[in-house]
Structure 1
Amino acid sequence: MKTQLRFTVFALLLSLTSLGAQTAHVVFAQDFTKGLIGVNIDAAGNIWATENGSGNDDGQITIIDSTGKKTLFMTGLPSTFIQAAGEIVGSYRTYQLPDNKVLIVVGEGTNKLSETLLIVDKTKFKGTPLTLADVEKVIEHGKFIHGLGFVQSNPFNVDWDKDGNIFIADSGANSIVKWHKGVDTFSIVKTIDRFANPFPYGPPMVDPVPTKALRYSDTTFYVSQLTGFPFVPGAAKVYSLNTNGTMRVHAEGFTCLTDMSIDPLDGNLCVMQFGVFGDVGGGTLNFKLGSAAVIKLKKDGTRDTIALGMGGLSPSFTFDGKGNLYVTDLVFGQILKFSLLTSNREIPQIKALSKAYPNPAQDQVNIEYEILQAAPVTIGIYDLSGRQVATYQEGKQVPGKYLFQWKGVDSKGQGVPSGMYMYRVLAGRSQVSGLVQMVR
């Protein structure tokens, strides 16, 4: 089975390198425990967060208002655990449509509604979460793809042309697919070729794995790519794709792109770097914690990293048109808010002082941090699946330097097994995070 875009526990085996201060953002919403993938915004400024579930047809969509209040909109979305690969696939994105409709992008899986686009009427929502029984239209994307002989289909992201036709990035079929509105038919716009693997490990050819088709003119789309295993650093490109299938490289030298958007304030293209894959110590190769970034491609050809220092790995982002950027953090299950305009920025409440030590540790880990403004402090310990192992409410702390000692136990006071663990120190809406290793 070829490696394609899936977000799983294996994508969370991260670097042992401790992170520096996480002061460029605040935590806008948190406690997303079912694989936070997609984030989009509606006309009223509400954030729509899509989780792909735990593999038990339990994907869900949550609406977050401007204050950070969460309302569960829909539950029971397709979510499949692929045992052979140890991977979870499911629902990825939710988009706003005219006439109070939403479109849900459902990726690969075994549910009868996997590999489809689902349309739901928002007016049916009266406070009780909607379910699959409320779906009013199913666009059967996967059936078309498999009918052409493709082994896999994994619709991941979409955009529309001026006539309302949908352009689908299928990361399983390595293709951009057009759904023709009104006649409910499909056509392949472009299938992207594999390229030679430059490394001595992994398959001889690497899958391009397109992740987004983003319209920027009546006849042209940008296309981003992740690239499959071994996730070659610098191999990902942004293409310019004409609707007639003509494609050229627009920009290159990126690593593992999973999303794109146009900054509404200056019209520049921005891309999401999910994370960097490489040596995380001891010859182990995997994604590195905190290596996600949002990069702006300016019209003069230069590039500017506008969001960096997310605690984990980030699949998606969106703008609100008011100078704010919202980025998902898959590892810690949270949405981070970056204020790109100086006048909007919140003063950070915490900063890191040093690495957690000793690291590795046998019995106790010391975590140092500094409070810059008085704030309630919560310290969480997580395993590499994102499951919370223990949480500690430290109360409101005044400005100053602090030392927290984790004694290597879970919430029941039981010693945790050997392995890597993530810590997060949350002060108000600011945070620092990193990794520690326990050796028993």
Structure 2
Amino acid sequence: MKLKSLTITILTFCVAAFSGMKAASAASFSVIADGLYNAGGLSFGPDGDLYVTEAGIGGSGACVPPASGQGDSLCYGTSGAVTKIENGKTERILTGLPSIALPDGTGAGGPRDIQFDPKGKPYVLIGYGANPAFRDRNLGYTDLGKIIAPDFKTNSWTSVADLANYELANNPDGGDVGSNPLGFVIDGNKLVAADAGANDLLRFNTVSNNLQAIVAFPQDILTNPIFPPSDTPSNEPAQVPSQDEVVRSPTAGLLLSETLRERPSQFATQPVPSSAAKGPDGAYYVSQFTGFPFAEGGAKIYRVGADGTPTVFADGFTQLTDLQFDSAGNLYALQYANQSAWKGNFDGSVIKIAPNGTRTILLSGNGLESPSALTIGSDGAVYVTNRGDRPGLGQVLKIENTKSIPEPDSALGVLAIAALGVGWLHKKKELATKPPINTVVALK
């Protein structure tokens, strides 16, 4: 059973809220971009305009097997792009970037995040989502699984760091080999990336050209996990333990359950780091969306200090896709859905975590569906890529009026999030009619 491999194929996420958090009563949002293909990360450039990545829809080129070994192959194309949003207009300013996806364009690996360094130089993180051994062998030379430095004026780029090859050569967590970098942050001359497939946090120094793992996150042992029903369309049968399967500790090799007569009472799951942010204290904060079976309440936000040791900053989450600090030290966490995705409801949430630990839901549902990334503007608004797993239906939302939202009186509120990311689930769900550009939705 290749649990790590399954996590590599998951590019979608989901959520379920507990009591104890106050919902936003004054926030509203507008749609400032539409028609994006597997929209990913977004960031403001030195020109004040907003840049967003599109992972694309793969293509008709060579293919690689999916990481889990189940289902259709991921096929290569050059449909990835970076789009610029300027004065309400969108323009693809970098095209032809590598992309792999399922035949219907879902489950895409391609441009996943974009950041600008202190001098205004852009960097783009290219996802992958499969075993790195197949990349060069099947696809030839490609920048999948790398960080690149683009030149928007010439529609060209150079390769900077090969994260997928680092996983192939080093495999820091000692599990199945796989790479799926999803998000990164720039810290001076260092690019710090979260590789969801490798389960580690990597640091690349742009001066010394040195790439190394900061930390490999440990597996979690779940007690009495809840598995998706066997007839759930999103369930991958190979990942559900059978009657005769034995589950062992990922760290000590200890037997956790004898030959199974039923599904196990203890189960090892992947950590799956999804993105990173630098905190006011100089530490890195890493979001987690956990691996199969995506236990609600099992995910954490890790704090990784100078010594590289991960400690839990906040828990009670299930699946998180992105993190971002504002200038006041508030941490914003993004969740893919308010229920486990196999239930078919993809309403997502934006949660604000104040410096004292209190949590507030700024936006939940009401048009926020399967969001993939967020950033904070100089205007104080929160910008989110919406419907990030739906080719041709991706959006960028601008969430405003967040400053007037009161914080809850208690810090006991927690958010439980759960995720199950399989693109073909969306075929079974009727999509809401897309709101027109600049439509404003007020939350009650």
Q: Common fold, TM-score beyond 0.5? A: yes
Structure 1 residue 296: deviation in Å? Answer: 0.9
CA distance in 2, matches of 1:339, 1:25: 6
**Cα distance in 1 for residues equivalent to 2:125 and 2:376:** 20
2:59 matches 1:59: no
Shift of 1:295: 0.8
- Give distance in 2, aligned partners of 1:261 and 1:250: 14
Match of 1:378?
none
Q: Which amino acid aligns with 1:300?
A: N
Q: How has the CA–CA distance of structure 1 residues 258 and 41 changed in structure 2, closer, same or farther, with 3 Å as cutoff?
A: same
Letter in 2 for 1:212: S
Query: Aligned partners of 1:82, 1:54: CA distance in 2, in Å?
Result: 8
Distance in 2, Cα, partners of 1:425 & 1:144: 41
1:73 aligned onto 2:135: no
Query: Residues 138 and 74 of structure 1: is their aligned pair in 2 closer, same or farther, counting only changes over 3 Å?
Result: same
Asked if 2 retains the 8 angstrom alpha-carbon contact of 1:81 and 1:89, the reply is yes
Map Cα deviations across residues 90-127 of structure 1 (whole Å, 9 max, x no partner).
220111235553111011154521110001234x24xx
- Aligned to 2:167, the other structure's residue is in SS state helix
Larger strand proportion of the pair:
1
2:399 aligned to which of 316, 338, 343 = 338
CA distance in 2, matches of 1:425, 1:114: 31
After TM superposition, the structure 1 = structure 2 runs for residues 148-163 of structure 1, keeping only pairs within 5 Å, are 148-149=170-171, 151-162=177-188
Contact (CA 8 Å) 2:26, 2:402: kept in 1 or not?
A: no
278, 287, 297: which one pairs with 2:353? 297
Match of 1:48 in 2: 51
- Tell me the secondary structure at the aligned position of residue 183 of structure 1: coil
1:103/1:114 Cα in 2 relative to 1: closer, same or farther (>3 Å)? same
Q: Equivalents in 2 of 1:286, 1:243: separation in Å?
A: 40
> Structure 2 vs 1, CA of residues 386 and 144 (structure 1 numbering), >3 Å: closer, same or farther?
same
Does residue 144 of structure 1 match 2:206? no
Match of 1:429 among 410, 414, 439: 439
Q: Distance in 1 between matches of 2:101 and 2:350?
A: 29
Q: Which amino acid letter does the alignment assign opposite residue 180 of structure 2?
A: N
SS in 2 for 1:156: strand
CA offset at residue 252 of structure 1? Answer: 0.6
Residue-by-residue CA offset, 1:291-326 (whole Å, 9 max, x unaligned): x11111112221111222234210111111212111
Q: 1: CA distance between counterparts of 2:13 and 2:315? A: 23
- Corresponding residue SS for 2:7: coil
* Larger Rg belongs to: 1
Unmatched 5+ stretches in structure 2: 15-24, 60-76, 130-134, 228-239, 242-266, 405-422
Letter of the 2:150 partner, please give it.
V
Match of 2:73 in 1: none
Partner of 2:33: 29
| 1:123-202 mapped onto 2 (5 Å cutoff) | 124-125=153-154, 130=155, 134-149=156-171, 151-162=177-188, 164-197=189-222, 198-201=224-227, 202=240
- Distance in 1 of aligned mates of 2:434 and 2:369: 14
Tell me the distance in 2 between the aligned counterparts of 1:218 and 1:139.
27
2:13 and 2:319 in contact (8 A); partners too: no
- What does residue 347 of structure 1 align with? none
Name which of 109, 114, 129 aligns with 1:89. 109
Partner letter of residue 143 of structure 1? Answer: N
Q: Is the 8 A contact 1:165 1:181 kept in 2?
A: yes
8 Å Cα contact 1:23-1:430 kept in structure 2: no
Is 1:231–1:277's contact at 8 Å kept on the other side of the alignment? no
Q: Which residue of 1 aligns with 2:127?
A: 107
Change (3 A) 1:51 1:249: same
Q: Which residue in 2 is equivalent to 1:354?
A: none
TM norm structure 1: 0.69
Query: Conserved in 1, the CA contact under 8 Å of 2:280 and 2:329?
Result: no
SS in 2 for 1:421: coil
Q: 1:232 to 1:96 in 2, by over 3 A?
A: same
Distance in 1 between the 2:219 and 2:202 partners?
A: 17
How does 1:251-330 map onto structure 2 within 5 Å?
A: 251-264=314-327, 266-278=328-340, 285-286=342-343, 288-290=345-347, 292-309=348-365, 310-330=367-387
- Residue 219 of structure 1 and its aligned partner are, at CA, apart by 4.7
Say whether the 8 Å CA contact 2:8–2:179 is kept in structure 1.
no
- Cα deviations across residues 340-370 of structure 1 (Å, max 9, x unaligned)? 2579xxxxxxxxxxxxxxxxxxxxxxxxxxx
**Partner of 1:209 in structure 2?**
272
Paired with 1:429 and 1:49, the residues of 2 have a C-alpha distance of 20
CA distance in structure 2 between the aligned counterparts of 1:119 and 1:178, rounded to whole angstroms: 16
1:223-234 map, 5 Å: 223-234=286-297
User: Does the 8 A contact of 1:256 with 1:276 survive in 2?
Assistant: no
TM-score of the superposed pair, with normalisation by structure 2: 0.68
Higher RCO, 1 or 2 (CA under 8 Å, sep at least 6)? 2
Task: Output the aligned Cα RMSD.
Answer: 3.1
Which one is further off, 220-229 or 180-189?
A: 180-189
Change (3 A) 1:82 1:205: farther
Q: Give CA-to-partner distance per residue, 1:179-225, whole Å, 9 cap, x none.
A: 12322122221111111234253463211100122112575211111
User: 1:157 is aligned with what amino acid?
Assistant: G
Match of 1:397 in 2: none
Q: Shift of the alpha carbon at 1:42?
A: 1.6
Distance in structure 2 (CA, Å) of the matches to 1:40 and 1:214: 13
Divergent runs of 4+, >4 A? 5-8, 383-387
| Fraction of identical pairs, as percent | 26
